[in-house]
Amino acid sequence: MSNSVQPLRVVVVGSGNVAEAVAIAVADTWALELKQVVARNTQRAAAIAEMCRTDWCDDLSKCEEADFYIIAVSDRAVEEVASQLNCAEGAIVVHTAGSVEMEALGECARGVLYPFQTFTMGRKVDFSDVPLFVEGCSEEVTERIESLAQLLSRRVYRANSSRRREIHLAGVLACNFVNALYSMAADHIDSTEALPFDVLRPLILETARKASESSHPRLVQTGPAVRGDFAVAERHQGMLDDTTHKEIYKLLTDYIWQTSKKI
C-alpha cells in the first residue's frame, strides 16, 4: 500500500556550512521533500543541489512553492535575504541563526530552527542527534516548526530569542574557544618541538570523551591548575612568548583553580 501522506516541501536558502548540512538532512528525511536550494553563490548552490538531488536557483524572487523556507545564511544577512524572499502563501519562513531575533524575518508566518552544532563544508553529521531549538510567532506556527524539527532530529526544544542567545554563547565557549586552544597547542608544539598535530589527537579525543560521559566536565578536570600546582603553572607561563597566550594561560589557570574548589 502506498503512503498517502504528502511530504512537507522545503526550500533551503543559503550556501554555507549550515545550509549544506540542513539541505542534506532534509533530502535524507523520507517525510520531507527538498524542493530547491536558493543561493547567490551559483557554484555552491549547484554543488549542494547535486548532493541532494534537487534543483537550485540564484534568484530569491524565483523560489519554488514550499511549506517551509529555511534561511541558513550569516547572521548579518538574515534580514536582507528575508525581505527579498518570494515565498508561497501559507508557508512558514524560519532562520537558523543563534543570535538573530525572529522579527528579522518580517511580518510573515515566521520562526526559528536553530541547530546547536558545528558544521563544516563536506563533513556530514548525524542530524538526528543535533539539538534543534525552535520558536514561532504563534502557538500554531511553533507547533508546525516543532513538527518539522522532529522529523529531522530526536532532540527538539523550544527557545525564545533570549534563551537562544544564552545557548549560542555556551556553544561558542564549548566549541569555538576550545578549538582555538587546540590551535594554540598545535602551533606551540610545532614551533618548539617540530611535532605534528597528530601527537595531540589521542589527548583531545580522550578529553572530549571524559567530558561528554561525565555529569559535569568539572568532575574530570585534570592538570596543574586543579591541583593548585602554581609553580608548574608559572613555569608554563614563562615558556610562552606571546603576551596574549600568557594572559589566556593565566586566566584559565585562575578559573580552573577557583571552580575546582566548588566540587
Over residues 149-176, the mean pLDDT reads 96
d(CA 204, CA 197): 10
Sketch out the chain's domains with CATH numbers.
Answer: 8-159 (3.40.50.720), 165-260 (1.10.1040.20)
E strand spans, the chain: 8-13, 32-38, 55-57, 68-71, 92-95, 110-115, 132-136, 156-158
pLDDT tens for residues 164-187? 999 999 999 999 999 999 999 999
Computed over every residue of the chain, the mean pLDDT equals 95
Mean of pLDDT values over 40-56: 96
Instruction: Give the residue-averaged pLDDT of 86-105.
Output: 94
> What stretch of H or E contains 46?
helix 42-52
* pLDDT at residue number 261: 74
Q: Band the pLDDT of 3: cuts 50, 70, 90.
A: low
Mean pLDDT within 203-223: 96
Residue 188: how many other CB atoms lie within 10 Å: 16
Does pLDDT of 60 surpass 50? yes
Residues 32, 150: Cα–Cα separation, whole Å: 11
Give the pairing of strands 8-13 and 68-71: parallel
Instruction: Provide the pLDDT for residue 1.
Output: 42
SS3 131: coil
C-alpha cell at 70: 529555511
Q: What is the mean pLDDT of residues 63-89?
A: 94
114, β-bridge pairs: 133
pLDDT value at residue 4: 61
**Is the predicted pLDDT of residue 2 greater than 60, yes or no?**
no
